[in-house]
Amino acid sequence: MQIYLPIAEVSVNAFLLLGLGGIVGILSGMFGVGGGFLMTPLLFFIGIPPAVAVATEANQIVASSFSGVLAHLKRKTVDLKMGTVLLVGGLVGSGLGIILFNYLKALGQVELLVQLCYVVFLGMIGALMFIESLKAIRNTRKSGGVAIPKRRKHNWVHNLPFKMKFRVSGLYISVIPPLIVGVLVGVLAAIMGVGGGFIMVPAMIYLLGMPTKVVVGTSLFQIIFVTAFTTMLHATTNFTVDIVLAVLLLVGGVIGAQIGTRIGVRMKAEQLRIWLAIMVLAVCGKLAFDLLVMPSELYSLGTEGHS
Amino acid sequence: MIRLVALFALLALPAKAEEIVLGLSRDEVAITATFEGSEILIFGAIKRDAPIANTDDLGVIVTVAGPDKPVTVRKKDRRLGIWVNTEAVDIDVAPTFYAVATNRPLREILSPSEDLNTRISTQRAIRSVGTKSENAEDFTRALIRIRAGQGLYQTLPTGVSVEEETLFRVLIPLPANLTEGAYKAEIYLTRGGEIVDLYTTTIPVKKVGLERWLYNLAHENAFLYGLMSLAIAIGAGWGASAVFTLLRR
């Protein structure tokens, strides 16, 4: 069934959009990522104008994250205190990110910057997670299926002032590292046009030392607010949020997120991480491939002027 | 402007020997939520007061043009091993939709000088004033190629069927990715490459119903529209969660 999208001004198959929303929703619920880094390129691919795809995707992420976070709240796997600290950083970061984005847009080549950002960050994070999870799985096997709880290392992070107790995460650390993580993720999220979960999740695990089970819910909690902020910004300045497109994507997305959250709970943390790593690496590989291989059409059309 | 001049030139002619009488299958194209593209039938007759005096080849040219919009064409090149946009050309005027239908290949029924004046062929319909790039021609061709691939630019060399040198009809397919606006349909009658008559009409293409309402809201009440989008998103997220909780019981 074809549906004409009023803002995007293109006609697309409704079931295709529902399906895409569903698949990305499952992944979102499983890994606590908004799914924007997968959905946005997919929307470009089916012919949605990039500006509309980025803005509408932000709106859709609000829905799937909200659905996911409710499931996590019931399970008490959301660290609200940590989420709020990250959110404060995130909002500051996305504000800065948008300023940076517009500055680079004036210089031209913003598209290339976005692609390079994707390749570099996805590649780095994917590779790190993959190696780490493989090691973890090997260790579990060696010790006869019982993981040896590692003693928490004390490094410079623990000597910073403004310490706060994060009971759900079982942490007593300074608020400075989570704030910095929030800002950095916010900047990247604004530039790359995504929620930033795929950067946030590893940062929480490896930099802040939060338990994996709490990480997913907390990341979703923070993403809701950052993407809601982005949606409003796009809707009021660029008029590029397509509500019909958003509804189709989010109907599939919210159902997918519920299923995904349930799958995620049944899986082992190491397995969850290795699958996320593989997915991140696959997207990175595809984007790198596009940059390196000669495109079939050298020319492209754009509406905005160039400098 | 040039077309207008051409029109006046035609009007200034003393009593026309041949004149176009036109009909359209529809007065407007409505874009609804389930719009899948459409087609428009343009038909008509050539009215004569006297028997055919001019025996040069008869040509019927039908053009349908969507609203003009500027467009930037970018070209990728290999730099340091990766493909990046290097050159760009701004095209000041390019119709968002353009179809040229003729009864015989355009070159045979329209002289190059008439084409230059009236801007009938697709290459002429696109105008880029003051482009510095020396290979601007390549960029224009790329624009036509890309839009033709999307069904937005069409050349139908034998699209117009003419019967008895009097009746003509043409079916112009409209793709689903149409831009709103006033579409200008022009029918030219040529004899031996020279234009002898011109008929112009507009076909409005507009969104209707829900599509219209949402589009207006998004542009006129952006803040409210944004809040509505968020409310729907939150509502859907909560709804799915509630439904799944019920299902698990």
Map residue B111 onto helix, strand or coil. Answer: coil
Please indicate whether residue B14 or residue B54 has the higher confidence score (pLDDT): B54
Residues B83 and B183 placed together within one structural domain of the fold = yes
What is the pLDDT at residue A147? 46
Q: Which residue has the tokens 């160039």?
A: A306
CATH code for position B134: 2.60.40.3880
Report CA-CA distances (Å) from B27 to A301, A307, B213. 31, 42, 22
What is the pLDDT at residue A149? 47
Residues B220 and B118 placed together within one structural domain of the fold = no
Residues B188 and B244 placed together within one structural domain of the fold = no
Buried b (16+ CB within 10 A) or exposed e, A208-220: bbbebbbbbbbbb
Q: What is the pLDDT of residues B92-109, one digit of tens each?
A: 888 889 999 988 888 888
How many whole angstroms separate alpha carbon A1 and alpha carbon B174? 18
DSSP state at residue B57: P
What is the pLDDT at residue A299? 80
- Among candidates A3, A66, A246 on the partner chain, residue whose Cβ is nearest the Cβ of B234: A66
What is the pLDDT at residue A193? 64
Domain boundaries, chain A: 2-143+155-292
Residues B107 and B153 placed together within one structural domain of the fold = yes
Residues B236 and B180 placed together within one structural domain of the fold = no
Which candidate, A39, A19, A17, places its Cα nearest to that of A28? Answer: A39
Q: How many domains does chain B have?
A: 2
Residues B164 and B85 placed together within one structural domain of the fold = yes
How many whole angstroms separate alpha carbon A4 and alpha carbon A25? 23
Looking at B23-172, list the stretches that DSSP marks H as alpha helix, in order from N- to C-terminal side. 106-109, 112-118, 122-125, 136-149
Residues B178 and B224 placed together within one structural domain of the fold = no
Name every chain B residue with its beta carbon within 8 A of the beta carbon of A293: 83
CB distance A239–B232 less than 8 Å?
Answer: no
CB distance B237–A301 less than 8 Å?
Answer: no
Full residue range of the structural domain in which residue B216 is found:
208-249
Q: What is the pLDDT of residues B157-168, one digit of tens each?
A: 888 888 888 888
Residues B7 and B124 placed together within one structural domain of the fold = yes
Residues B193 and B223 placed together within one structural domain of the fold = no
B97: left (phi over 0), alpha (psi -120 to 50) or beta: beta
Residues B185 and B240 placed together within one structural domain of the fold = no
> How would you write the pLDDT of chain A (307 residues) with one tens digit per residue?
778 888 877 888 889 988 888 888 888 777 766 677 778 777 877 878 777 887 888 888 888 788 778 878 888 888 888 888 888 988 888 888 877 877 776 665 667 777 788 788 888 878 887 888 888 878 877 665 444 444 455 556 666 767 777 777 777 777 888 888 888 888 877 777 677 777 788 788 878 888 878 888 888 888 888 888 888 887 887 788 888 898 888 888 878 877 887 887 787 777 777 887 888 888 888 888 888 887 777 787 776 544 3
Map residue B86 onto helix, strand or coil. Answer: strand
- Among candidates A2, A59, A232 on the partner chain, residue whose Cβ is nearest the Cβ of B176: A2
Residues B182 and B233 placed together within one structural domain of the fold = no
How many whole angstroms separate alpha carbon B221 and alpha carbon A232? 12
Contact A223/B at CB under 8 A: no
Report CA-CA distances (Å) from B50 to A186, B54, B55. 78, 11, 13
Map residue B71 onto helix, strand or coil. Answer: strand
ipTM of model over 0.90: no
Per-residue DSSP letters for A252-303? HHHHHHHHHHHHHHHS-HHHHHHHHHHHHHHHHHHHHHHHHSPPS--EEEES
- Are A278 and A128 in contact by the 8 Å Cβ rule? The answer is no
Interface of A with B in 99-158 (CB under 8 A): 108-109, 111-112
Domain boundary among B207, B222, B240: B207
Residues B180 and B66 placed together within one structural domain of the fold = yes
